[in-house]
Amino acid sequence: MEYGAGWDGFAAMERDVRAMVADPRWPLTPAQGRADAIARRALATPDGVCWLFGAYARWYRLDPDGQWHLSAPPAAPAIRAATRPVTVPIPYWVVPTGPDHAVDRGSTQAFVGPDVPAEVTERIRDLIVAHRGLRREDFPLTGGPFRQVFAAEVPSTVATVWGTVMWCAYAPAFDGNEVILSMFGEFLARPLPGDEFVRWLPPVGLTDLVDLYAERCRAGAHDAGLRLAELMARTADVLRADPRFRPRASALIGMIEPLLTQPWLDHTALQSGAVAHTWLLRCPPNLAAAALAEVSPGDHFRHVFYDLVEALAFTADTGADPRAVAASLLAADVASVTTDAVTYLYPWMDDGIRQALYVTLADPDHPLRGCWPVDGRLPAGLTPPDRSTAAALLGAAYATGLAWCELAGAVPPPTGFPVSGAVGQCLVNDRDDLPREPTTTPRKRVTETTSDWLYSS
């Protein structure tokens, strides 16, 4: 390797590891051989910290206590240019297996600014229209979180489409005029949480979605249960056209497809109540990262916080450290909900992020407090340069908020987190949707419903 002018150790080592893991011989190499190859490709920055590009095609940082943490690398060119390769002992879990490096990250953009493509919304509309009229006796919505969302007469088929959309979304923050929400308007029991501009929706767990299918099977209506599973797969197949849905949609299809050809697969799991776990076991290895929230809330928090740091990469152009900025913005959201959450978050952070989060929360005069939103708006230096960057930052910030709330057992605020709300203000005048129609416009059927229902109380 050349270490002269223009050397970027992180970029060079990432290219080297990616090429090595992509080699067809990599999965056939003994585990120790793979570990040794990765260990020889670590990097040391001028401050003595070691970094490694490993599992899930992401970077890891070695803390002084010997623990490796998933952590986005430094952005400053001077630091990246001053790195040197080193060899360090590493644990087995940071070594790429092969399939994990083929992970599809999709897009971290929220559904504010860029709308869901019309071809996706129209195909989802077709699924709703085709399944809305099925007998509620055959597809009852008996309980669970969907029962609180939908009116009493709504069949579980509609809830299945909705639940699939929400589960597949990277970050379920939607424009108040988003068509994919508006078409569900006549089925809802109450207005969705949020404000006139953004609907801050709670996450849907895989167990909640799977229970729609499992309830029918346990009730002896196995064919109805399989029809709901097929509807989930068909909905996910439509959603794959949008990168904000694609990774989780592909993972869901991978879990369901074997069941559709072998309908007896979940027989034992239905008796034991472990259906969601059984579905996760069927998730293809290269898509496992998309379902990480179901397996390890802590690791999921690490990954979405990594996304947040990457979404803030534009701040490096002003000399800021995206890692420190991300820690400060996390502190702003934590302070608005409960500072007790840090007890649950600290173990999942590297030492640098942990210290930045601590000092930002503890010292009102610390310079990192300058990153916090003021009067619902971001400081000028943190304003994203364009719509796509703002949408990506909004999605990553909201996903991070939901992730740390899940990890800490906190309740996400129904009006959104301060940071994602402030990022949303950057998109108010840069949206795809047209101004909503006057409220005097007669209501239409679900096939062409307006968004007026979103603003009623």
Structure confidence at residue 195 (pLDDT): 80
Number of other CB atoms surrounding residue 453 within 10 Å? 17
Both tokens of residue 339?
A: 């500072």
Half-sphere exposure of residue 292, counting CA atoms within 13 Å on the CB side?
20
Cα(188)–Cα(204) distance, rounded to whole angstroms? 16
Cα(287)–Cα(106) distance, rounded to whole angstroms? 11
Q: What is the mean pLDDT of the chain?
A: 91
The length of the chain in residues reads 457
For residue 450, pLDDT over 90 is answered with no
Structure confidence at residue 7 (pLDDT): 84
Write out the DSSP string of 363-396.
-TTSGGGGGS-BTTB--GGG--SSHHHHHHHHHH
Structure confidence at residue 367 (pLDDT): 96
Cα(160)–Cα(102) distance, rounded to whole angstroms? 29
% residues pLDDT > 70 (the chain): 93
pLDDT in tens, 68-110: 999 999 999 999 999 999 999 999 999 999 888 888 999 999 9
User: Which residues, in sequence order, are CB contacts of 345 under 8 Å at separation 6+?
Assistant: 301, 330, 334, 357, 404, 407, 408
Structure confidence at residue 451 (pLDDT): 34
pLDDT in tens, 254-264: 999 999 999 99
Relative orientation angle of helices 297-311 and 387-408, to the nearest 10 degrees: 160
441 pLDDT tier (thresholds 50, 70, 90): very low
For residue 443, pLDDT over 50 is answered with no
Both tokens of residue 97?
A: 């297996």
The closest of 184, 178, 147 to 162, measured between CA atoms, is: 184
Least confident of 26-30, 133-137, 232-236, 441-445: 441-445
Q: Are strands 42-44 and 84-86 parallel, antiparallel or unpaired?
A: antiparallel
* 162-182 b/e (C-beta count within 10 Å ≥ 16 → b): bbbbbbbbbbbbbbbbbbbbb
Q: What global pTM score does this model have?
A: 0.91
Amino acid letter, residue 249? A
Alpha-carbon distances of 340 from 272, 296, 331, 343, 353, rounded to whole Å: 36, 20, 11, 6, 17
188 pLDDT tier (thresholds 50, 70, 90): very high
For residue 431, pLDDT over 80 is answered with no
Structure confidence at residue 433 (pLDDT): 67
Structure confidence at residue 144 (pLDDT): 84
Question: Nearest 5 degrees, angle CA 148-CA 152-CA 156?
Answer: 80
Alpha-carbon distances of 231 from 206, 210, 346, rounded to whole Å: 15, 12, 40
Q: What is the mean pLDDT of residues 199-216?
A: 96
Structure confidence at residue 444 (pLDDT): 33
The answer to whether the beta carbons of residues 379 and 371 sit under 8 Å apart is: yes
The answer to whether the beta carbons of residues 157 and 132 sit under 8 Å apart is: yes
Structure confidence at residue 438 (pLDDT): 36
In a 3-state reduction of DSSP, which class is residue 279? helix
In a 3-state reduction of DSSP, which class is residue 160? helix
Dihedral of CA atoms 375, 378, 381, 382 in degrees, nearest 10, equals 170
Q: What is the mean pLDDT of residues 142-155?
A: 90
DSSP 273: T
More confident residue, 216 or 457: 216
In a 3-state reduction of DSSP, which class is residue 283? coil
DSSP 439: T
- The strand pairing partners of 174, in sequence order, are 111, 199
Cα(326)–Cα(307) distance, rounded to whole angstroms? 10
Both tokens of residue 337?
A: 């909900």
3 pLDDT tier (thresholds 50, 70, 90): low
pLDDT in tens, 327-380: 999 999 999 999 999 999 999 999 999 999 999 999 999 999 999 999 999 999
- Strand intervals (E) in 55-194: 58-62, 68-70, 84-86, 173-175
Provide the terminal-to-terminal Cα distance of the chain, rounded to the nearest Å. Answer: 64
Structure confidence at residue 388 (pLDDT): 95
The closest of 263, 367, 297, 288 to 325, measured between CA atoms, is: 367
* 408-432 b/e (C-beta count within 10 Å ≥ 16 → b): bebebbeebbbbbbbbbbbbeeebb
